[in-house]
Structure 1
Amino acid sequence: MSNKRQYTDLIKSEADRLGFLSCGISKAEFLEEEAPRLEQWLKQNAHGEMRYMENHFEKRLDPTKLVEGSKSVISLLYNYFPEEIQRQDSYKVSKYAYGRDYHHVIKAKLKDFMQTLNDEIGEVHGRAFVDSAPVLEKAWAAKSGLGWVGKHSNLLTKQTGSFYFIAELIIDLELDYDTPVTDHCGSCTKCIDACPTDAIYEPYKVDGSKCISYFTIELKDDLPKGYENQFEDWMFGCDICQDVCPWNRFSKPHNEPLFNPHPELLTKDKKDWEEITKDVFNEIFRKSAVKRTKYEGLKRNINYIKGKSEN
Structure 2
Amino acid sequence: MNLNAEKHSQLIKKKAEKYGFISCGISKAEFLEEEAPRLENWLNNNANGKMQYMENHFDKRLDPSELVEGAKSVVSLLYNYFPEENQKENTFKVSKYAYGQDYHHVIKKKLRMMMEELNEEIGEINGRVFVDSAPVLEKAWAAKSGLGWIGKHSNLLTKQRGSFYFISELIIDLPLAYDTPVTDHCGSCTKCIDACPTQAITPYQVDGSKCISYLTIELKEEIPSDFKNKFEDWMFGCDICQDVCPWNRFSKPHNEPLFNPHPDLLDYKKEDWTEITKDVFNEIFRKSAVKRTKYEGLKRNINYILKD
Alignment map for 1:144-293 (pairs within 5 Å): 144-200=145-201, 202-293=202-293
User: 4+ residue stretches of structure 1 with deviation over 4 A?
Assistant: none
- Per-residue CA deviation, residues 149-169 of structure 1 (Å, 9 max, x unaligned), is 000000000121000000000
Amino acid at match of 1:116: E
Structure 1 unpaired stretches of 5+:
none
1:38 and 1:60 map into 2 onto residues whose CA distance is 9
Q: Matched residues, percent identical?
A: 78
Count residues with an aligned counterpart: 307
- Per-residue CA deviation, residues 56-104 of structure 1 (Å, 9 max, x unaligned), is 0001000011111110000000000000000011100000000000000
1:138 and 1:252 map into 2 onto residues whose CA distance is 21
Alignment map for 1:1-311 (pairs within 5 Å): 2-200=3-201, 202-307=202-307
2:63 and 2:223 map into 1 onto residues whose CA distance is 35
1:266 and 1:65 map into 2 onto residues whose CA distance is 43
1:66 and 1:19 map into 2 onto residues whose CA distance is 26
Partner of 2:74: helix, strand, or coil? strand
Amino acid at match of 2:28: K
Partner of 2:65: helix, strand, or coil? helix
2:196 and 2:138 map into 1 onto residues whose CA distance is 23
1:63 and 1:173 map into 2 onto residues whose CA distance is 13
1:226 and 1:305 map into 2 onto residues whose CA distance is 12
Structure 2 unpaired stretches of 5+:
none
TM-score (norm 1): 0.98
Shift of 1:226: 2.2
Amino acid at match of 1:103: H
Amino acid at match of 2:100: G
Please say which of residues 186-195 and 221-230 is displaced more in the overlay: 221-230
Partner of 2:229: helix, strand, or coil? helix
1:118 and 1:61 map into 2 onto residues whose CA distance is 26
2:205 and 2:157 map into 1 onto residues whose CA distance is 15
TM-score (norm 2): 0.99
Partner of 2:226: helix, strand, or coil? coil
